[in-house]
Structure 1
Amino acid sequence: MSTSRIALVTGAASGIGAAIATRLAADGASVALLARRRDRLEKVAAQIAEAGGTALVVPADVTSEQSVAEAAVLVQDTFGDLDLLVNNAGVMHVVPFADGPADAWRSTVDINLTGVINVTHAFLPALRRSAATRTTDLINVSSLAGERINPGMAAYGASKAAVSHLTRTLRAELAGEGIRVTDLEPGMIDGTELADGFPPELQTMVDDLRTTLPAVPVREVAELIAYVVGRPRDVNLPHLIIQPSKEV
């Protein structure tokens, strides 16, 4: 990967997002870290700086157009035109559809889908300007849940299916402008906070499953992203799945 890349990673306060941001910074990219939790972002930024990298803390709410617009101004003023955007922010609620509270469904769609739309729309002008002269990537982190039937995960699966469809459409619309678009669908990943809010009985089941089916470490997702964005400018990897070897 070129050491001059300017990247933004959403959901960068922990898990997959923090791992991706740290890996990109290690390769020499200037990385904007976007999430709601400033204190967590500052810890990630400090770790990147300690390793000799460059990171910008960008506290923002992806569900708010105004918050994302302000973030775009901050990134532009600090780094200039973005050429690498990773939409990773996400949330997972597990509850049967008939019993699920409406606010859980709304927050799932707002963060997982509307957040991707808000951030992409805000940073697309910069990506377009960058694509005229240098390698430019838009990567959306979706999920295998968008392709599978998982009882209790209707809202999450539907939101991720929509993200994957949106990503495919964006590729069709932007390919002619030189913007590479990638839909990344992780399976079971270790080191994320998505399962932290599960009911106790479901958390126990997930823990037992991870004992028999080791999940993919978040660092491997970050390595895959680094590989994708490091391809020659005229090569695009539009759809990728990463999952444990034994997961079916």
Structure 2
Amino acid sequence: MSYATLAGRTAVVTGAASGMGEATARLLASHGVRVALLARRTDRLAELAAKIEADGGQALVVTADVTEAASVDAAVETVHAAYGDVDLVVNAAGVMLPNPVTEGRIDEWQRMLDTNVAGALRVIRAFTPDLIAAAAAGRTADLVNVSSIGAHVPFPHYAVYGATKAALTYLSQSLRTELGPRDVRVTNIEPGLTDTELGGHIDNAELSSQLDGMFDALIGLSADDIADLIAFATSRARHVNLRQAIVLPTRQA
């Protein structure tokens, strides 16, 4: 599919070291978007940037941790120095750490809250002024938040993860009331079972095995499937906001 209208835009993609973030960055860059790659793993970002540039695209490595405000602030300076203002932000950084609530894994809860909710908010705070300015200048401006079907559908032992994604989904809904009147689009993507590194974060062997079994049975989505949806949504005419997209494997109810 052609996404010609994306050419010439400038994007920030968090979680760009792997999974949906990496796939989205690659796809956007292949359609002429200058992409700032934000994540903690510099080596992975450097590899991705090299691939993008070898294919004729533009990519900027920005080592950043969305759980730290100072790190995000420094990332803004790096992006602005290299590319100027951005007009497309993809919040794809996330962590999934399922365990029974009765285990009281406060460390896991805090990590998910810091990344999935507060981390997204830090990025929104940092780059929303750019989006507002781009829209005011008559350009297309997009904020894309990658949530999860877990925001709506409860799964045993995923209570805290689902709660963080429900918060992100609600945040996206509320932001549309603030940013929509200023011509900034807010899109919330809620993937179902998708093949990413999230499953590798799980230290519960039983839950990890269950996830593997579900993926085999349901033929899960790929990160490229989600990237394709993000590229589609952000390449529409600027007055069209695909506000909410739930995307599941065909076999997932």
TM-score normalized by the length of structure 1: 0.98
Indicate yes or no: 2:10 matched with 1:6: yes
Q: 1:113 aligns with which of 110, 117, 125?
A: 117
Indicate yes or no: 2:248 matched with 1:225: no
Q: 2:93 aligns with which of 85, 89, 94?
A: 89
1:56 alignment partner in structure 2: 60
Specify the SS of the correspondent of 1:151: coil
Specify the SS of the correspondent of 2:143: strand
Q: Cα deviation per residue 1:166-186 (whole Å; 9 max; x = unaligned)?
A: 000001110111101001100
Specify the SS of the correspondent of 2:6: coil
User: Given residue 196 of structure 1, which amino acid in structure 2 is its aligned partner?
Assistant: G
Name the CA distance, whole Å, in 1 between partners of 2:207 and 2:159.
16
2:26 alignment partner in structure 1: 22
Name the CA distance, whole Å, in 2 between partners of 1:49 and 1:25.
9
2:175 alignment partner in structure 1: 170
User: Given residue 35 of structure 2, which amino acid in structure 1 is its aligned partner?
Assistant: V
Specify the SS of the correspondent of 2:189: strand
1:204 alignment partner in structure 2: 209
Name the CA distance, whole Å, in 2 between partners of 1:93 and 1:170.
27
1:103 alignment partner in structure 2: 107
1:137 alignment partner in structure 2: 142
TM-score normalized by the length of structure 2: 0.96
For structure 2, the residue ranges without an aligned partner over 5 or more in a row are none
Name the CA distance, whole Å, in 1 between partners of 2:231 and 2:48.
18
Runs of 4+ in 1 over 6 A off after TM superposition: none
User: Given residue 45 of structure 1, which amino acid in structure 2 is its aligned partner?
Assistant: A
Residues 6, 28 of structure 2: 8 Å contact kept = no
Name the CA distance, whole Å, in 1 between partners of 2:109 and 2:97.
8
Q: Please state how far the C-alpha of 1:100 moved relative to its aligned partner.
A: 3.0
RMSD of aligned alpha carbons: 0.9
Q: 1:213 aligns with which of 202, 218, 237?
A: 218
